[in-house]
């Protein structure tokens, strides 16, 4: 087993950063801890690293109980959002740091640093200081430095958070490729669902100090376990149970539910004879890949719809136009009294 | 030359005028006055055994005091930045006290504590250690008045030092001591050196507190500043200016050396 966490919790003063949590991360996997700020994802990562001490529970790294081991003893690699490079050392010296601490021989260090410079595509940059590098280059140095000690676990805390959009995209792809080459168990923290989906094998969605769901990107998107996961991963419309769009659903008759409709699951017809709920187009926004329309239902509720470019070309809309709307798929989460936890049922509508 | 001067903007002219009046003219006057005695006489006064010993007492003791404060000031700054404790604000204020206190008052308080019947002095007396009226007393006075410099130069740099840089070192296996020596210290070293330089210059120029705690006997604890005053009291104006000029030269040289050290310490910053 790569990393096993049993009943680990952490409190900072009055703030319960992490409720008792269990999690297993298989050896060699690439896992994203995804959640909004304050969800406990960074705390969990720092607990695994040993940079924080858990209040309860136990942490196992590659099968060994590491709960009371210091950061130094855990043999992890840690990459920080703001690089945390040693400014007074050259790129070479930065990468060699962990090896020097481990008293590796001069020749060994030389060879390993050369190999890592090659791996992070910075071969000509060994003698530069961090201040002479771009943000993306600095983060690659940080990664090489962490990998130099051959850690059993690589931990990255918002590694692309400080970079601009283009560099971020490149580095994501690059991290994915790197992991395919190096195969070290890797956990990274992000608040960006697109980043998590693109890079990770497994996503751990966190909210308010708890794990909401663990699964592959497809599972998380197609079968969200909770209303939070549904609304955090991708855009959603939340429907009122009294809305014309949802009042005929069988679930609504059986008890209180939270209802969600993805914008791309909204079917729009312009033909007056169609059976949908009547609505008016309030605004049209071109998002590039797709077209977003804001619709106002005849009962006053508003709804976002996403149309592909093709759909839009076949059926152009105009602001103020009368249309008829049908939901393709509505996801319903029963609301239990005295319990926030809900289960999901999948409801195909009007098939 | 004058025409070029008239084209300068007024902040420039004001600054130049101020520097001329406050720095250049007095220094020029000192050198001019000391050179009226002639080279041979200048050399004789400057290398007089009493004067040589006074330079040595002044500069060596000031350097030692500045170095001790380099260590203690860094430690104090570390405690102030890294730890929260009751009375921290009070301590912050206390540290600046040597800046504000008239030096004669500082000498008086030090003499009270360190004289052979004072609180600390009486504890050391049975072991044959005397502080007041010895070179040790000169050192204590210099330690006192130069203490705030290192704390005040290092503190802001430590505050800005990101915690994650230390955490990165730990994650790579470095102990807390290794992290301090190899990661933290190199980054605060330029600030420590600046503090040591300022403290050293302040200690070299100190007069008020030393004259009270020391006996000012030649070859024992006579410092250069006190020697200058003694010469003036004997109406030996030329002698006083010659010793003053030598002090000026040595101070200037030490500052150049310290500046070079600082540049070396911050060579990785571009």
Contact B232, B242 (CB under 8 A): no
Chain A CB contacts of B172 below 8 Å = 97-98, 101, 145-146, 148-149
Contact list in B for residue A88 (CB cut-off 8 A) is: 186-187, 268
CA closest to B173 among chain A residues: A72
Gap from A155 CA to chain B (nearest CA, Å): 10
Residue B46 has pLDDT above 60, yes or no: yes
Of A70, A98, A131, the CB nearest to B172: A98
pLDDT tens-digit profile of A62-86? 989 999 999 999 999 999 999 999 9
- DSSP lists the bridge partners of residue A79 as A156
Higher-confidence residue: A241 or A99? A99
* CB-nearest partner of B173 from A49, A85, A101: A101
Which one, of A66, A15, A23, A68, lies nearest residue A44 by Cα?
Answer: A23
List, as own/partner pairs, every contact residues B109-117 make where C-beta atoms lie below 8 angstroms and the sequence separation is at least 24, other chains included. Answer: B110/B137, B110/B140, B110/B141, B110/B144, B110/B209, B110/B212, B110/B213, B111/B212, B111/B213, B114/B140, B114/B213
- Nearest residue on chain B to A50, judged by CA atoms? B171
pLDDT at A349 over 50: no
The whole-number average pLDDT for the span A48-66 is 95
**Smallest CA–CA distance from B189 into chain A, residue:** A88
- Residue A256: the pLDDT is 83
Asked which of B3-7, B68-72, B192-196, B221-225 is least confident by mean pLDDT, the reply is B3-7
Running DSSP on this structure, what letter comes out for residue A55? S
Predicted local confidence at residue A211, as pLDDT? 97
pTM score, whole prediction: 0.81
Confidence of residue B118 (pLDDT cuts 50, 70, 90): confident
- B179: nearest CA in chain A? A101
Q: What is the pLDDT of residue A337?
A: 59
pLDDT digits (tens, 9 = 90+) for B144-196: 999 999 999 999 999 998 899 999 999 999 999 999 999 999 989 989 999 99
- Average pLDDT of chain A is 89
CB A259 within 8 A of CB A241: yes
**B174 contacts on A by Cβ (under 8 Å):** 72, 97-98, 101
CA distance B188 to chain A (A): 10
State mean pLDDT over B218-243: 92
CB-count exposure of residue A85 (10 Å: 0-12, 13-18, 19+): buried
The interface predicted TM-score (ipTM) is: 0.84
Q: Which residue of chain B comes nearest to A98, CA vs CA?
A: B172
Q: Which of A170-184, A327-341, B133-147 has the lowest mean pLDDT?
A: A327-341
Q: What is the mean pLDDT of residues A88-117?
A: 95
Burial class (CB in 10 A: 0-12, 13-18, 19+), A127: exposed
Interface test with A, best of B169, B170, B172 (most A CBs within 10 A): B172
| Chain B residues close to A102, C-beta within 8 Å | 173
Bridge pairing between strands A257-261 and A266-269: unpaired
Mean pLDDT of B71-77: 96
CA A74, A102, A110: angle at the middle one, nearest 5?
Answer: 125
The average confidence (pLDDT) of chain B is 90
Measure the CA–CA gap between A132 and A145, rounded to whole angstroms: 17
The pLDDT score that the predictor gives to residue B130 is 87
Burial (CB count within 10 angstroms: exposed 0-12, middle 13-18, buried 19+), residue B6: exposed
Residues in chain B closer than 8 A to A49 (CB atoms): 171
Interchain proximity B164–A77, CB inside 8 Å: no
Confidence of residue A48 (pLDDT cuts 50, 70, 90): very high
pLDDT at site B257: 86
Amino acid A348: pLDDT = 47
Query: How confident is the model at residue B7, as a pLDDT?
Result: 80
Mean pLDDT for A266-275 is 82
Q: Which two tokens stand for residue A241?
A: 């149970």
Interface of B with A (CB under 8 A): 162, 164-165, 167-175, 178, 182-183, 186-187, 268-270
Q: Which of A69, A74, A88 to mutate to test the interface with B (most CBs of B within 10 A)?
A: A88
Strand partners, A154: A77, A186
Comparing CB atoms, the residue among A49, A72, A87 nearest residue B173 is A72
Nearest alpha-carbon partner for B168 in A261, A272, A81, A245:
A81
The tokens for A321 are: 């136009």
Q: Mind listing the pLDDT tens digit for each residue in A198-234? A: 999 999 999 999 999 999 999 999 999 999 999 999 8
Distance from CA of B263 to the nearest CA of A (A): 13
Q: How far is A84 from chain B (nearest CA, A)?
A: 5
d(CA B148, CA B98): 7
**Chain B residues closer than 8 Å to A148 by CB:** 172
> What's the confidence (pLDDT) of residue B1?
62
What is the rounded distance in angstroms from the CA atom of residue B214 to the CA atom of residue B210? 6
List of domains in chain B: 36-269 (1.10.3720.10)
CA–CA separation, A123 and A16 (whole Å): 45
Per-residue pLDDT at A344 exceeds 50: no
Of residues A59 and B133, more confidence is placed in A59
According to the model, what pLDDT value does residue B52 have?
Answer: 95
pLDDT more than 90, % of chain B: 62
Containing H/E element for B205? Answer: none
Q: Give pLDDT tens digits for B102-115.
A: 999 999 999 889 98
Residue of A nearest to B177 (CA): A101
Interchain CB distance below 8 Å, B169 and A97: yes
What's the mean pLDDT in B208-236? 92
Instruction: Flag whether pLDDT at B136 surpasses 50.
Output: yes
**What gap in Å lies between CA B74 and CA B155, rounded to an integer?**
8
Compare all CA atoms of chain A with the CA of B175 and give the residue at the minimum distance.
A72
CB A327 within 8 A of CB A265: yes
């Amino acid at each position: 087993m790569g990393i096993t966490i049993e009943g680990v919790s952490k409190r900072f003063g009055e703030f319960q950063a992490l409720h008792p949590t269990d999690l297993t991360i298989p050896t060699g996997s690439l896992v994203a801890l995804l959640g909004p700020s304050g969800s406990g994802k960074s705390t969990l990562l720092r607990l695994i690293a040993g940079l924080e001490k858990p209040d309860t529970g136990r942490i196992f790294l590659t099968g060994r109980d590491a709960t009371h081991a210091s950061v130094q003893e855990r043999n992890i690699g840690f990459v920080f959002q703001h690089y945390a490079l040693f400014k007074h050392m050259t790129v070479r010296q930065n990468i060699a740091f962990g090896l020097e601490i481990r008293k590796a021989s001069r020749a060994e260090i030389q060879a390993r640093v050369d190999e890592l410079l090659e791996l992070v595509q910075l071969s000509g940059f060994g003698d530069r200081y961090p201040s002479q590098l771009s943000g993306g280059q600095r983060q690659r140095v940080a990664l090489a430095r962490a990998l130099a000690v051959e850690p059993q676990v690589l931990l990255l805390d918002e590694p692309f958070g400080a970079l601009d959009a283009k560099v971020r995209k490149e580095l994501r792809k690059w991290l994915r490729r790197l992991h395919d080459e190096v195969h070290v168990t890797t956990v990274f923290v992000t608040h960006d669902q697109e980043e998590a989906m693109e890079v990770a094998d497994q996503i751990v969605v966190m909210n308010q100090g708890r794990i909401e769901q663990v699964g592959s990107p497809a599972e998380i998107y197609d079968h969200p376990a909770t209303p939070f996961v549904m609304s955090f991963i991708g855009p959603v419309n939340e429907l009122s149970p009294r809305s014309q769009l949802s009042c005929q659903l069988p679930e609504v008759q059986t008890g209180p539910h939270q209802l969600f409709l993805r914008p791309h699951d909204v079917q729009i017809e312009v033909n007056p004879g169609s059976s949908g709920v009547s609505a008016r187009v309030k605004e049209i926004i071109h998002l590039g890949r797709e077209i977003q329309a804001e619709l106002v239902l005849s009962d006053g509720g508003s709804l976002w719809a996403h149309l592909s470019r093709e759909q839009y070309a076949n059926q152009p809309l105009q602001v103020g136009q009368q249309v008829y709307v049908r939901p393709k798929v509505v996801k319903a989460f029963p609301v239990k009294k005295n319990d926030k936890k809900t289960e999901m049922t999948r409801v195909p509508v009007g098939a | 030359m004058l025409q070029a001067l008239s084209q300068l903007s007024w902040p420039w002219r004001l600054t130049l005028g101020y520097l001329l009046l406050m720095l250049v003219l007095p220094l020029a006057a000192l050198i001019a006055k000391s050179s009226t005695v002639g080279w041979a006489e200048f050399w004789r006064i400057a290398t007089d055994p009493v004067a040589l010993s006074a330079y040595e007492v002044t500069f060596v003791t000031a350097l030692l005091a500045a170095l001790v404060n380099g260590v203690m000031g860094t430690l104090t700054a570390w405690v102030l930045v890294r730890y929260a404790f009751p009375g921290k604000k009070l301590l912050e204020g206390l540290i600046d006290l040597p800046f504000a206190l008239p030096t004669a008052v500082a000498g008086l308080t030090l003499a009270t504590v360190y004289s052979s019947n004072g609180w600390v002095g009486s504890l050391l007396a049975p072991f044959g250690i005397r502080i007041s009226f010895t070179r040790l007393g000169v050192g204590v006075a210099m330690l006192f008045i130069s203490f705030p410099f290192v704390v005040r130069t290092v503190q802001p740099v430590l505050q800005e030092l990101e915690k994650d840089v230390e955490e990165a070192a730990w994650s790579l296996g470095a102990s807390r001591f290794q992290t301090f020596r190899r990661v933290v210290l190199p980054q605060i070293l330029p600030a420590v050196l600046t503090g040591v330089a300022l403290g050293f210059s302040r200690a070299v120029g100190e007069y008020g507190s030393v004259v009270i705690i020391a006996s000012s006997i030649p070859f024992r604890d006579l410092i250069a500043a006190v020697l200058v005053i003694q010469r003036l009291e004997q109406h030996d104006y030329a002698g006083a200016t010659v010793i003053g000029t030598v002090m000026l030269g040595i101070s200037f040289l030490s500052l150049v050396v310290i500046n070079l050290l600082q540049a070396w310490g911050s060579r990785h910053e571009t």
